[in-house]
Amino acid sequence: MDAPDAPGDRSGGGSRAPPPERTQLPELIRRKRDGGRLSEGHIRAFVRAVVDGSAQGAQIGAMLMAVRLRGMDLEETAALTRALAASGQQLEWPEAWRPQLVDKHSTGGVGDKVSLVLAPALAACGCKVPMISGRGLGHTGGTLDKLESIPGFTVIQSPEQMRGLLEHVGCCIVGQSQRLVPADGVLYAARDVTATVDSLPLITASILSKKAVEGLSALVVDVKFGEAAIFPSRAQARELAEALVGVGAGLGLRVAAALTAMDKPLGRSVGHSLEVEEALLCLDGAGPPDLRDLVTRLGGALLWLSGMAEAQADGAARVAAALDDGSARSRFQRMLAAQGVDPELARALCAGTPAQRGELLPRAREREELRAPADGTVEQVRALPLARVLHELGAGRSRAGEPLRPGVGAELLVDVGQRLRRGTPWLRVHRDAPTLSDPQRRALQGALVLSDRAPFAAPSPFAELVLPPPARAPPDTRQ
């Protein structure tokens, strides 16, 4: 066990430099600020200070910014991942579960409700999915925030409760408690309010530390790229994907990374309650095709990586079957009830019609439809301005712990590639505010990009799969 932060050895011998473990936080911040490299001992010392409360908020923010500006190499990133994972309890499961233990993570997108669908679908395919998820970062929504829009849903579960959930349901979606990766919980919230969300090493360590404690056989990370993603270019996203795969391999975790486009919202709904409703549609075997496509591709890759399917395509077909036969929806219902939702409400949500579901979840006070300003084909629906306006309306946070308005959101009434006539409703905004401001209305209308070309089929958001080394024969990732 490393010693806690303390002044240097005072037993004599002159002014020896303190060992790395005892270097004071300002010196560590200065070292990284000036482009220096942090040792594993330095990184452990910083993480200990975060957990025990001796690191001040200003010091945490300064270190995050130093890392954001100066970066970390793969060894530093791996050391940070290990230190975060070791900051709390390690999850332990029966050895017989190991081949079944899989998980998925996303770097964050607009309208990304894949986890709500994929976890129960994988459970229906025989997997154990101990998903430790997060809250919204920046303009992107968080899985936990979406689930908490369901009355009674409890995201904090002890390791013992998680084990019971995996045994009886096959999946759980939980947050970071004081016992599970507590250091990352502090840093995650701080990143959201210090403009350090897009730091590659911080993203890598945050994602993999939560997964390292899960004892997984396989992990797929959905790395978003595009205007509304953390990284705008595919090349930047690939750099993160390769870091995740490489650091994961060093931790003994089989990680693959899917690169997926995030220029337009995923699906048709954005906002916490609205996204739960759309996830339920997908669990019905229906819903937007881009959402279903991504769920089945990611699930297929996980089943293949864990050895539970012969090929990615076979795994994708199994996930699709779980959506179509109702077994995935049944697992979701059981997960809701097991994580605090009244069983009758869980049943009504999963068995009800879309209209009935809408009455059971929080709703915004007002709805307003925006109309197409001209004739044209929908070339793009820009996710970023849409997300920013919804953030202003209460769907996102400006500071850690700020309450959200779960009913605030928007529904896309059109598809990319569709031909519109001037005056056709294209967006329905759900708001608690009395009215949209003129700048908000202009920003939303600017999200609709029209062109003169003929109608076309919307492309899949899936781009490629980055595989772990040494890879077996790669699965078929053709469009």
**Catalytic member of 105, 128, 329, 388:** 105
Q: Is 168 a catalytic residue?
A: no
Sheet of 448-451, strands arranged across: 419-420, 376-381, 448-451
- Between CA 48 and CA 42 the distance in angstroms is 10
**What six digits make up the tokens of 192?**
């959201």
Backbone angles phi, psi at 186, to 5 degrees: -70, -50
Element (H, E) at 342: none
User: Are the C-beta atoms of residues 74 and 170 closer than 8 Å to each other?
Assistant: no
Q: Can 105 be counted among the known catalytic residues?
A: yes
Task: List the catalytic residue out of 5, 103, 222, 290.
Answer: 103
The SS3 of residue 140 is strand
Q: Is residue 452 annotated as a catalytic residue, yes or no?
A: no
Describe the crossing of helices 40-52 and 74-85 by its angle, rounded to 10 degrees.
30
Residue of 77, 106, 107, 296 with catalytic role: 106
Name the catalytic one among 42, 128, 139, 210.
210
Catalytic residue among 113, 128, 191, 292: 191
Q: What order of strands is seen across the sheet that includes strand 218-225?
A: 102-106, 218-225, 255-261, 462-466
**How many beta carbons lie within 10 A of that of residue 434, not counting itself?**
7
Set 32, 44, 104, 163: catalytic member: 104
Q: Is 143 annotated in the active site?
A: yes
Phi, psi dihedral angles at 272 (to 5 degrees): -60, -60
The answer to whether 206 is a known catalytic residue is: yes
- The packing angle between helices 343-351 and 272-283, to 10°, is 70
Q: Is 210 a catalytic residue?
A: yes
Of 287, 391, 341, 389, nearest in space to 150 by CA: 341
Q: State the residue for tokens 């995201």.
A: 155
Q: Which is the catalytic residue, given 194, 206, 296, 306? A: 206
Active site residue 199: no
Instruction: List the catalytic residue out of 211, 254, 292, 331.
Output: 211
State the Cα–Cα distance between residues 118 and 127, nearest whole angstrom.
11
Q: CA 51, CA 87: separation in Å to the nearest integer? A: 7
Alpha-carbon gap, residue 147 to 163, rounded angstroms: 20
The catalytic residues are 103-106, 143, 191, 206, 210-211
